[in-house]
Amino acid sequence: MSLKPHSTEWYDRLSTLQRGYYYPWKSKLPLINGEDIFLAQVKDMITPAKDVLEVGCGHGELALQLAASCQTLLAYDRVPAYIRLAQASADEQQVTNVTFVCADSSLATNQRAHIPAGEQSFDVIYSRRGPLHWIDDARRVARPNATLIQLNPSPLPPPIWNQYLPQQFQLPEFGALTMEQIVRQRLAQNQITIHSCWTFQVQETFSTPEDFYTFITWGHDPTNVPPLTQLAPTLNRIFQDYANPDGLEIPFGRFLWHSIIR
């Protein structure tokens, strides 16, 4: 069945196809790409006295990486398989100041956005590529002067070769609003302003058609994914006509923002 990438049903299916949330292909990103800056900034914000929240933590890799730097960390995700993996890793690594919670904070599930925590619980709230609806409940769980920081995928217009891919594997068309506009609207609805923000527009380079195949078919229903041999003529042709000596470039956009709760 064809599902909208990153919809709840799509995440549920992905969690049955691979262990945890990660990208299974090999590709290259330039040194500065948004993901790296996000990580450096979150690390800067976290200190041993801080209580921290991660929204949409996947299988908990980042939370476990940051745990030693803060007082407590609550990390939640709506996919039970991810939280089970996260808890197993915490047990294995003997990390005791992280609480993993399986919860869906969406409006659809709770009648209003609901973060699974009490009032004024956190000094820092971060989310790496998680959803946006939690912003509606951020004021309740944030302490005065808490920092919010999120990295969001920010789609860019697809390259010309997109039209040669089978429709189900085409990159999505560019939406009417940019990610920055969507985030600003959501924050404004909650009387929160952006303190600082950055847009990253770089290229992700795939050096082989095989990695490109893994990328475009990721998260699809395996029973509807043609084998590589069937797609190879199309992919090889795209590489032949559009790749540079390093490989095929695909636009990679990120929007990174901070707010401070006043």
Ligand X SMILES: C[S@@+](CC[C@H](N)C(=O)[O-])C[C@H]1O[C@@H](n2cnc3c(N)ncnc32)[C@H](O)[C@@H]1O
Q: Which residues bind ligand X (CB under 6 A)?
A: 11, 21, 56-58, 62, 76-79, 82, 104-106, 128-131
Q: What is the nearest approach in angstroms of ligand X to the Cβ of residue 6?
A: 6
Task: Provide φ and ψ at 213, rounded to 5°.
Answer: -60, -45
CA proximity to 201, closest of 238, 160, 250, 254: 254
Q: Which is nearer to ligand X, 57 or 192 (CB)?
A: 57
Q: What is the nearest approach in angstroms of ligand X to the Cβ of residue 18?
A: 12
CA proximity to 215, closest of 60, 16, 5: 5
Q: Which is nearer to ligand X, 51 or 136 (CB)?
A: 136
Q: What is the nearest approach in angstroms of ligand X to the Cβ of residue 5?
A: 10
Q: What is the nearest approach in angstroms of ligand X to the Cβ of residue 169?
A: 19
Q: What is the nearest approach in angstroms of ligand X to the Cβ of residue 58?
A: 3
Q: How far apart are CA 146 and CA 148, in angstroms?
A: 7
Task: Provide φ and ψ at 65, rounded to 5°.
Answer: -65, -35
Q: Which is nearer to ligand X, 100 or 161 (CB)?
A: 100
Alpha helices, DSSP H only, in the chain?
A: 8-17, 35-45, 61-66, 80-93, 107-110, 135-141, 179-189, 209-217, 228-242
- Is 72 in contact with 97 (CB distance < 8 Å)? yes
Q: Which is nearer to ligand X, 34 or 56 (CB)?
A: 56
Q: Is 106 helix (H, G, I), strand (E, B) or coil?
A: coil
Q: Which is nearer to ligand X, 27 or 105 (CB)?
A: 105
Q: Is 100 left (phi over 0), alpha (psi -120 to 50) or beta?
A: beta
CA proximity to 194, closest of 146, 148, 151: 148
Q: What is the nearest approach in angstroms of ligand X to the Cβ of residue 134?
A: 8
Q: In the block, which residue shows the tokens 């085409």?
A: 170
Q: Which is nearer to ligand X, 19 or 262 (CB)?
A: 19
- Closest-CB residue for ligand X? 56
